[in-house]
Amino acid sequence: DLMEIVREHVWGVDGDTLETVGGRLLAEKNLNLAVMEDYTGGLLTATITGTPEIAAHFKGGIVTASDEACVAGGIDYSLISNHGRHSAGMAQALAEAARERLGASVGIGVTGANEPGEVAGRIYGTFNIAVTDGVNTRTMTTRYPGDKNRVRRWATSAARCA
């Protein structure tokens, strides 16, 4: 049977989406989720809240678009001034701040350079995504092609898979 061969690489079948599968996993593990996103403009939060299976386990999302918003969200300004808002360390801080501020089991942080050119040494389309449960943190850095909206969609999709 083909499914027996590929099972470990399949996350869903038929009408499953990342959100429905994610919602089932959160329910099975009795976990909930919060996000803090910088540069995806709330697209990750909107995607999560648009699916009842995962929205039931979603504590909320915080959208930041400036240094001031990041600081108001609990990010230490020295991290921003020393490493910029586009760093992997920033993604980790966003994930942890989301988890702590919203009282969630798991936090996701997304940041990146989605303005044309180079921003603070980061090349356009480079995104950092971090996921933390307060003990373990996983960070991913990657670069996505396309215009600003396409880059935001790519980053949102990657964060959903993180």
- Cα–Cα distances (Å) from 63 to 16, 114, 124, in that order, read 27, 15, 20
| HEC secondary structure over the chain | CHHHHHHHHCCCCCCCCHHHHHHHHHHHCCCCEEEEEECCCCHHHHHHHCCHHHHCCEEEEEEECCHHHHHHCCCCHHHHHHHCCCCHHHHHHHHHHHHHHHCCCEEEEEEEECCCCEECCEECCEEEEEEECCCCEEEEEEECCCCHHHHHHHHHHHHHHC
Q: How far apart are CA 162 and CA 26, in angstroms?
A: 13
Compare 152 and 59 and report the one with higher pLDDT: 59
pTM (2 d.p.): 0.85
Average pLDDT over residues 30-36: 94
Q: How far apart are CA 10 and CA 25, in angstroms?
A: 14
Reported as a pLDDT band with limits 50, 70 and 90, residue 85 is confident
* pLDDT of residue 119 exceeding 60: no
Reported as a pLDDT band with limits 50, 70 and 90, residue 144 is confident
Average pLDDT over residues 102-112: 94
Q: Are 132 and 95 in contact (CB under 8 A)?
A: yes
pLDDT of residue 124: 75
